[in-house]
Structure 1
Amino acid sequence: MTAGTVAQAITRAHRNEWARVVAGLARRFDDLDVAEEAAAEAFAAAAERWPREGVPANPGGWLVTTATRKAIDRLRRESQRDARHQAARFGYDASPAEPTGPVEDDRLRLIFICCHPVLASQARVALTLRLLGGLTVAEIARAFLVSETTMARRITRAKAKIKAAGVPFRIPGPDDVRERLAGVLAVVYLVFNEGYLASAGDDPVRSDRTDEAIRLGRLLRTLLPDDGEVTGLLALMLLTEARRSARVSRTGELVTLDEQDRGAWDRALIAEGNALVQERIEAVAAGAAPGRYQLQAAIGVVHTAAPSARDTDWSTIVALYGRLVLLDPSPIVRLNRAVAVAEVDGPSVGLAEVDRLGAGLDGYHAFHAARADLLRRLGRSGESRTAYDRAVELAGNPAERAYLTRRRDQLAG
């Protein structure tokens, strides 16, 4: 087996098994630090031993066994020879079993732990991206537009708060589920986005992360089948995932929505997403108020329903974004609305709205990319080039950088 083949196997194992290993260790040892560090040590051992010994027939089982031994060794080194240590050492847990809830999945339970109310909203998202999504601290820092040091401290403090609060490893009761649900949905969606268009790394698309987010979305819908936002998020992810195969060209460049081959879209995913949105439309007609994910899913339906980019119903999209801004007036939502406004009222109107958001989005590459495109459409090539330069500088995704670089280089003069 070549070194390249082994490296690919390790990468694949990390993508497929990291969340499962961490979640299983967290349940067994009731300690997030132990779980994360033992999992990391197991993958380091794989990188050292698999090139010599070969890739095991069951990589996931090998990693779980190795990580468990690493965790026990750590507890032994720290002289934590309490009941938890002894139980783990001999392969059983002598304490009364915690109820696990209606969904038997360690990863889903770990999400609810990471989204405990003792944590601030951003800490919940960061912790889950680290423990469930397997993102590095640097990748999470880029997503939050903060330094790596700041993010490392945030994650460390979050784990310490979870430990100090004595949060049990189980899905909470119905009342607690409702309280934590918004944070859980935000985390799942960020994991999805990090896979659909990765913020860093050599791979522009990480299908393992989009698959994991959709899997978690389906589990949440099983847990809460009548919740509109759970349904809306699943629909949104399905409708977005349906376009993934057309998102990046063969040369590794981002293909924007207006240039994508719509014949390559996954019609089965679109049909499933449309059915979920239709279900929520009927609920809204009966008096339910749509939430942010339901509105974004409705926008996705409008995009996927258009046979070509020129046939897109931009007026409806602007109206939906108008309702979304009332629920979530964040600068990014308002930026998306401004881009849609430019399609209805022209680039000068859209640019005016985009420029009003500048103070809060200077470190966000999509803000500069939107400005660059609108300035290009207005014939202001010099300003457009400057905006493209800033967008390329900030973009962490290689496919986006390639696209933005080409668009900049096509400018006249």
Structure 2
Amino acid sequence: MRILDLLGVPVRAGFFRDDQASIRAGATHDGFLYSDAPLTPGFRAVREPGMAVSLMLLLEDGRVALGDCAEVQYAGAGGRSTLIDPDRLLDEAVRGLRPALVGREIDGFRPLAEEIDAALVDGGPISLPLRYGISQALLDAAAQAAGVTMAEVVRDEYDTGVELAPVPIYAQSGDDRYSTVDKMILKRVDVLPHGLINTIDGKLGRRGELLLEYVAWVRDRILHLRVDDYAPVIHVDVYGTVGLIFDGDLDAVADYLARLAKEAAPFHLRVEHPVDAGDREGQIAAYVALRRMLASRGAAVELVADEWCNTLDDIRAFLAASAADMIQVKTPDLGGVGNTIEALLDVRRAGFGAFCGGTCNETDVSARVSAQIAMACGADQVLAKPGMGVDEGLMIVGNEMTRTAALARTRSLRAAQTD
């Protein structure tokens, strides 16, 4: 199966891109928007529509393989790349990718994907969003050429040894932190609610009291609404704000997280990015210390690494130091999806929680690819994306995994009968 052409078009992302620095500094809400000036370079406003570019590989049999270039919601924060410029990205695709791909034979995914991920344009590496999008399209093309799902391609080419089955889904609430929890409970979401605890006043509290109340409310709401023995994991993302209210005092942070775990009981608690140390080395050191402190307190809470744990090298550095209980593999930050696959497998082999994450600001295409990769790598959880509405992300990711598992199972049964 040869590639006849590469097309690219700007498309809508599933949410918005937000200036995290301004929001964490207390930017004033103006309806859904913010009225303050942005602080992060590249932003014209604190909240802007998300940008994405869809890449289409035209194959010689008339089929089309898709991949979407996406940016994270908090672009430019925590060591991440800056905002997508669709015009610049399309120009880069035409000059750098199209000549390298047109006429190439698709007889698998991994070798060609690794070649493109390492390619240079104008003497430098291809931009992360472009590598993310084109690698999705190459995986789609490889699956179509072989007549199998993308998950089967990943499982076989990377020898993951995983049975293809849906993995636990993590849903995120956005600012609507209460009614969306009811949705999650009714739909029996495995991991909830995210909470978007990205400001101190109004969400965390100057002494952390608002988050303590919120976690207790989530616990009570689960107990009130659940049927049978439904017991989701409570996972909150606090964007480094806990460290801010305690002025970086890790002992105080550990005491607070231990209190938070007691409020969550009988449900298991995960806390994402409790402190922000400002760089990778500092973040690793802080997490190592926090894990030790939490263990000494017997606190039933897991630390989830996100900011400053962006690239494959970053993830391997966190793993080498045992600097988290769970690693979010934030898919757009790793460039080609081959790096996402490698990262998830590395995390699993190291014995830590493998979270196939990403951002609400992705697209339906990248969400489906992420879902199949999460299955093929045996991830411990996958993000429901895109968007912050809960229902749409759950549908896209959940249905993709259900369909993929059924197809792979049927193919395996038929192969066994033939043998």
- Structure with the bigger RCO (C-alpha within 8 Å, sep 6+) is 2
TM-score, normalization by structure 2: 0.27
Return the structure number with greater strand share: 2
TM-score (norm 1): 0.28
Answer with 1 or 2: which has the greater Rg. 1
